[in-house]
Structure 1
Amino acid sequence: MALLHLMHDLAKRHDTRLFAVTVNHNLREGAEAEARAVGDYCAALGVPHDILIWDDWDGKGNLQASARDARYRRMAEWAEHLGVGTIAVGHTADDQAETVLMRLGRRAGVDGLAAIPPRTVRHGIVWVRPLLSVTRADLRWYLRQNGIGWSEDPSNDDNRFVRIKARQALAALGDLGIDASGLAVVAAQMRDARSALDWQTFLAARELAHVNAGAVVLQERRLRIQPEEIQRRLLVRALGWVSGNDYPPRRTAVATLMAALRAGQAATVDGCHALRVDEDIWVFREHEAVRHLRSCPGVPWDGRWRVMPIQGHERPAKDLHIAALGHEGIAQCAEWRAAGLPFPVALSTPAVWRDDTLVAAPLVGAAQNWHAALQAGEETFFAGLLSH
């Protein structure tokens, strides 16, 4: 409610149209009434308001994490429908401090302790958090001063959740001088450190990395002389860019990958394969991760490739589909070696099929008037190193 009131004042001063949205997770009694109450308050302010419903949880995994991911996804879809490019969310200094404590419990490094960023891009939407330096107590005072009511979420007292345990621990740490504002400063300092590391990683990537057939190729010798943290960050970025995963692999998994590569061995992490070929390290999609994927021509395959006939040629027949080249395709494509791709890399490239017959393999020299293009090209790999 405080964020809504503050954003309404800001929008009026800058003559900007404001929209509001509430996500009802259907997880507790009273949530629907609270969402309607927000809608009534928005109506009084003249702010259009929508209520989004999330009822997809299957009872498995981390409830709060599942609810958070669904909330962001639903709000992004809502914003795209309205043509809204930026969403403000109400994380506070207390949320920041709790996140730092939770990350400490997971032995996080610089990235983890940077905690909640003031600005991110997710699902194509810019998310801003204007209240990160403000405590919940400050916001309650503001609401009381302005005669605005609010509702307390009863789950805020449910210590089954790790965040609530962190909240209770934070209250007990006050005598040591550890409070929300202090931990928020730590998070800000970690963000500064992360930015410096990101910049150095970006410079290293420009010097030693390039993209080939959707794989990230790293010059092994130049990579090896980089500080270990820069090596790690480059590999993490390569894995994320190739796999499309929203979250990076665990630090232990990356450490195992780095050890394997140093020993000249291949390794698989997060649906990606990494191996050394001559003087290069290739990070590419694992064939097993895409072996069963199918799409129609022109429809994204593996979330990153679009395969279409070259412009000017006839529209594809309806009986064609896009799938990985695989062993069956390699057997029907005698010229695949001419493309210069390592065999495991070629296996996971997209190809055009008619039933079990290979029609075209654009990335291994058998284009047959077909074209395969990444939806997000090489520059997005480099840009992602600086996008925090």
Structure 2
Amino acid sequence: MNNILGANSISRLAVAVSGGADSIALLYLIAEWAKARKVDITIFTVNHNLRPESKLEINYVEKLAGRFKFKFVPLSWNSGDKITAIQERARKARYDLMSENCKKLGISLLLTAHHFDDMLETYLIRKSKKSSLLAHFPNITYFWNNVWIVRPLFNIEKKELIEYLYKNNITWFEDQSNQADKYERNRIRKKLATLAKAEKANLLANYNLSSEKAKLLNQSLIQSLAEVVSIYEYGFAKINIVKFNGLGDEIKIHIINYVLTVISGKTLIPRYRNVINIISLLSSKRFVTSTLNHCKLIVKNEEIIIYKEKVFVENSCDGKQAYQYIQPGPLTKHDYRFQPPYYVYYWDNRFEIVLNKPGYIISNLKMEEYITLIPQLNLENLAKDSDNNHKSILFTLPVIKNLEKVVAIPHISYYDGGVLSGAIKVIFKPNFISRFTHFF
């Protein structure tokens, strides 16, 4: 934990605990670690409502949380009538629930119990699907829904965790669904258990070699992103074409995927063939204005300007009253202090808006509103930064309205009558899962 956190200082964190051996071991281990550091712990347990014994497991975890004087938050998900891709859907739902509750409670860090065996299984699954080399890098730390996910057991084998539990006379539950052959991970787990010693040694050697190569590639990707990509607070990006064309193809693919995911606010990356086509057109200097992944791509002054198309802006807005201070610090550098009560809105999967006054509507600008407001709008900075694509980008930004009119466009410092001046904070904070820049 200390190596992963580095210089980051935390006062609270959450732990995902299912009742199985891995997460129960993590719970006990993190309790020892947190006690000396006076870290406040919250335990999340998710009932997927797929197994009748889940209630017993949740009750057991709740008792353990009480014993350690940890906060306990039970969560529930129902799959409905749909049974296809149940494991994948359950996993997404689990992380969505936990991350949303982390944000409600002002928690920036969530621990999960993935261990070395899990990493090895994931490596084999991705290798069988011919995933890119970067996908072979152990995903020890990343972000989900802007919550930092950390796997502190990443280099510990399952057998070591079991030995720890036996040695300390700690009880856990076995999930019988882990034996079902209908799940790919279970089949791989069983196959690994039957490998001869020499086969296992060869597999570990390949895994370590692949991980090292992926680590180097990841470092190159991070450096390339810093040198080639600029992302602006207005929610658009620029890619330097000359520098981009000098990169390797795999790095180019990940950069395009990264930028389009961030700017669109979508969690799905574009189709491989479409990305390859963009790369080919850029290298041959035949690129023309195009659209991809809900984004507009324009070439100007040796740069690609990428912004979200206004037709795809979603005006659904997830708003919550915040009831805790969010202390700024290394882990929460994009958060800010407001005297409660204040209201946090998440708009279009891209922008976080903090208001200390309730009762406003968050939307994007309509043409008739723009025509009325033109004389009062100062678009000089936006025009300069976007190479005069300011009008198109303006229509993709959040604006604050009451029932009658637009009262604020924070990005261009427009405040009608000064009513909300100083009462609002907006930050470009894409709600996506980053496999590109958040690695240990």
Within the alignment, does 1:63 sit opposite 2:111 as a pair? no
Q: Distance in 2 between matches of 1:125 and 1:77?
A: 9
Within the alignment, does 1:120 sit opposite 2:137 as a pair? no
Q: What is the aligned counterpart of 1:153 among 169, 175, 178?
A: 175
Match of 2:99 in 1: 76
Within the alignment, does 1:111 sit opposite 2:134 as a pair? yes
Within the alignment, does 1:214 sit opposite 2:266 as a pair? no
Q: Distance in 2 between matches of 1:349 and 1:44?
A: 48
* Distance verdict in 2 for CA 1:255–1:331, change over 3 Å: farther
* Distance verdict in 2 for CA 1:65–1:153, change over 3 Å: same
Output the TM-score relative to the length of structure 1.
Answer: 0.76
Q: What is the aligned counterpart of 2:63 among 40, 55, 63?
A: 40
Q: What is the aligned counterpart of 1:256 among 261, 277, 280?
A: 277
Does the 8 A contact of 2:307 with 2:393 survive in 1?
yes
Task: Choose 328-337 or 173-182, whichever is displaced more.
Answer: 328-337
Q: Greater relative contact order (Cα 8 A, min sep 6): structure 1 or 2?
A: 2
Describe how 1:164-175 pairs up with structure 2 within 5 A. 164-174=186-196, 175=198
Q: Distance in 1 between matches of 2:61 and 2:30?
A: 14
Q: CA RMSD in A?
A: 4.3
Within the alignment, does 1:302 sit opposite 2:315 as a pair? no
Does the 8 A contact of 1:242 with 1:285 survive in 2?
yes
Q: Distance in 1 between matches of 2:110 and 2:101?
A: 10
Q: What is the letter of the counterpart of residue 58 of structure 2?
A: A
Number of aligned residue pairs: 375
Q: Distance in 2 between matches of 1:130 and 1:85?
A: 16
Tell me the SS of whatever aligns to 1:138. Answer: helix
Q: Distance in 1 between matches of 2:101 and 2:175?
A: 24
Q: What is the letter of the counterpart of residue 31 of structure 1?
A: S
Does the 8 A contact of 2:134 with 2:215 survive in 1?
no
* Distance verdict in 2 for CA 1:366–1:8, change over 3 Å: closer
* Distance verdict in 2 for CA 1:377–1:158, change over 3 Å: closer
Which runs of no fewer than 5 residues in structure 2 stay unpaired? 1-23, 320-343
Match of 1:312 in 2: none
Q: What is the letter of the counterpart of residue 237 of structure 2?
A: V
Q: Percent identity?
A: 22
* Distance verdict in 2 for CA 1:242–1:43, change over 3 Å: same
Match of 1:238 in 2: 259
Q: What is the letter of the counterpart of residue 158 of structure 2?
A: R
Which runs of no fewer than 5 residues in structure 1 stay unpaired? 310-314
Tell me the SS of whatever aligns to 2:428. Answer: coil
Does the 8 A contact of 1:202 with 1:385 survive in 2?
no
Q: Distance in 2 between matches of 1:363 and 1:15?
A: 40
Shift of 1:31: 1.0
Q: What is the letter of the counterpart of residue 157 of structure 1?
A: Q
* Distance verdict in 2 for CA 1:171–1:286, change over 3 Å: farther
Match of 1:227 in 2: 248
Output the TM-score relative to the length of structure 2.
Answer: 0.68
Tell me the SS of whatever aligns to 1:303. Answer: coil
Does the 8 A contact of 2:114 with 2:151 survive in 1?
yes
Shift of 1:102: 1.0
